[in-house]
A and B are shown apart, each in its own frame.
Chain A
Amino acid sequence: MSKIKISKLPLARREKVSPSNRFGGFDVFCFIILLVFALLIIFPFYYLFIVSITPQEIYANNSFILWTPEISFDAYKTVFTEKSIWNGFGITCILLFGGTLYQMFFTVITGYALSRQKWVGKNFVMNMILVTMFFGGGLIPYYVLIKSLNMTDTIWVMIIPGAIDTFNMLLMRNYFASLPKELEESAKIDGANDIQIFARIFLPLSLPMLATVGLFFAVGNWNSWYNGMLFNTKESLKTLQQVLQDVIYTPASTIPNPNPTRINTESLKMAAIFFTIIPMMLFYPFLQRFFVKGIVVGAIKG
């Protein structure tokens, strides 16, 4: 068998041909180690779910690991009837859709501009951006800035300052840079203008990377709480993660709360956590396949 012929075969079949590649002890070893690792990752989620559907008195009086003696969805009922959770969900959804689109737009065009042919000051801009990965002004100047932009107590503070994420922008840039130059040149010969080249050629070709970066932003927005915590003082602007923190955190300072409205149980906390991770769990498997390609080209070919 000639080499050329083999390399033309699909990967899976090619492997079978080679004599040392027969299914053997080493495969079993890999399989077992990975199985154990995967189970170690799944199990805490499973246990979290189990605890969330266990009534408090059962959780309190029994030790169980694999299955609960009694099931109750009361904790979920509480979570679902809690107004603040839905309000937080709404705010987070605004961030998730509006914020992600906005961030994608600026990050992608910046990445594109930095990936194409050399223009005056390109290196300067690039270095200017890289420096920000190491040096920042700290909390107070940032706060003063946000205040002078009149963004405190608005939803904008959780969206606008996140326009460009340097890491994601670099991923995008490197991906664009990895696409062959000839594409651009031949399009130009066909009479396409710059916008058309960007929108009709480069964007469609970058779908895996766009999906990757989009997911990063989406997850970031889903988990967002810090700017909201710092700059928003209105209950109606709390994100889902902030509400979750309120649920997990029973007032436990030396300051007494004269007016506590919520009393926590383990299952309530876990139900609230589960509520915030379930959307990710549902969507993630479908998006995961985009990563491998995108990440690698983006991160390495820099």
Chain B
Amino acid sequence: MEKVLIKKKQSLGYSIKRNLNASKFLIMMIIPAIVYYVIFCYIPMYGVLIAFTKYSPRLGITGSIANNWIGFENFATVFKLPGFWQAFTNTLLIGSVKVIISFLSAVIVALLINELRMRVFKKTVQIVVTFPHFLSWVVVASLFMLLLGENGGISKAIVASGGDPLTFFSDGKKFLALIFSSDIWKEAGWSSIIYIATMAGISSDLYEAANIDGASRLQKIWHITLPGIRPTAILLLIMSVGGVLSAGFDQIYNMTSQLRNATVLGSVQIIDTLVYQGSLGTGAMTFGESTALGLFKSVIGFALVITTDRIAKLCGERGII
């Protein structure tokens, strides 16, 4: 018995050595990355402990952790903040609707482009619809306000011909719709790329067989194309679930004019904007508390990804972990 164990150990040590030898080059290549991640991601990571302290700039982070430890008090406080639960539900609502509509819009755009058979137009359309992805939200928000604001180009034209100006930026419900549609405007084309390519990868034999059976194009889409992109779709859905609690700070911050458009802010106030407002503008949140909220968000996001992954696996799909 003992002998066997020793032998095993030896062989393990040997194999490690051999592996190290064989992978010298790769290990050399990974060293910068390890240094990078340790310095820029892991060293600052101890900062999450601020969430359990009463943060003091004089003591610094380590000093606060050593001297001002208060346990879960910060969490209790932020959950009681005015507007926290509304922001929480808003976040869930906006985040999940965004996941769904961005998925649907991407698939629809991909289907349309896939079915299109005018080559030059197809190329052009793809260039056009993917472009907005690369713009910052500052620019996109400026564009939308310039055009759809109460005194934007379209409102001006409507008013000039005797109508009422658009109210996207003053009516909470319409504004919410605008948040979703600007998201589609900016990202649908880009997210569709992946589906288009997956569709291109579906074996043409399947379509030929369907042709022989006399299937219509809609039938082919339903029975071949959509099932063909299912694994991809599920994979991407799982990945996007982790971001539900993020719900797009950049977008909301810029579309609400740096959170100053008070008429619509209530409908779109999310956790991230609340943290921003609370810790920078109004002093309602200490640094300990905003860190606590950030940590709360990370943990839930992480849990969501793991859970979705499990569910997907239980349903017989490939997960990501």
Contacts and interface: CB of A to CB of B under 8 A. Distances in A.
Interface residues on B, range: 35 or more
A62 B142 CA distance: 20
A18 B211 contact: yes
B99 to A, nearest CB: 17
Contacts of B287: 140
Interface string B175-215: 00000000001001100011011101100110110010011
A141 B22 CA distance: 38
A145 B298 contact: no
Nearest to A219: B134
Interface of A: 3, 6-7, 12, 14-15, 18-21, 23, 26-27, 30-31, 33-35, 37-38, 40-45, 47-48, 51, 63-65, 106, 109-110, 112-114, 116-120, 125, 128-129, 132, 134-138, 140-142, 144-145, 161, 163-164, 169, 194-195, 198, 219, 223, 241, 244-245, 248, 266, 269-270, 273, 276-277, 280-281, 284-285, 288-289, 291-293, 295-296, 299-300, 302
B138 interface: yes
A194 to B, nearest CB: 3
14 contacts: A12-B119, A15-B117, A19-B211, A30-B115, A63-B160, A64-B157, A119-B22, A135-B45, A135-B48, A136-B294, A223-B135, A248-B142, A284-B131, A288-B127
A140 B143 contact: no
A180 to B, nearest CB: 17
Contact of B216 (A20, A198, A219): A20
A120 B48 CA distance: 30
B307 interface: no
B205 A3 contact: yes
Contact of B30 (A33, A51, A113, A292): A113
A173 B171 CA distance: 46
A277 B139 contact: yes
Best-surrounded residue of B134, B189, B198, B290 (most CB of chain A within 10 A) = B134
Interface string B113-155: 1011111010111111111101110110011101100000110
Chain B contact residues, majority secondary structure: helix
Nearest to B135: A277
Contacts of B61: 140-141, 144
B159 to A, nearest CB: 7
Contacts of B126: 288
A142 B36 contact: no
A128 to B, nearest CB: 6
B112 A33 contact: yes
A132 B42 CA distance: 8
Given A7-B204, A34-B125, A145-B39, A295 B46 contact: no
A296 B110 CA distance: 13
A156 B287 CA distance: 27
Contacts of B188: 37
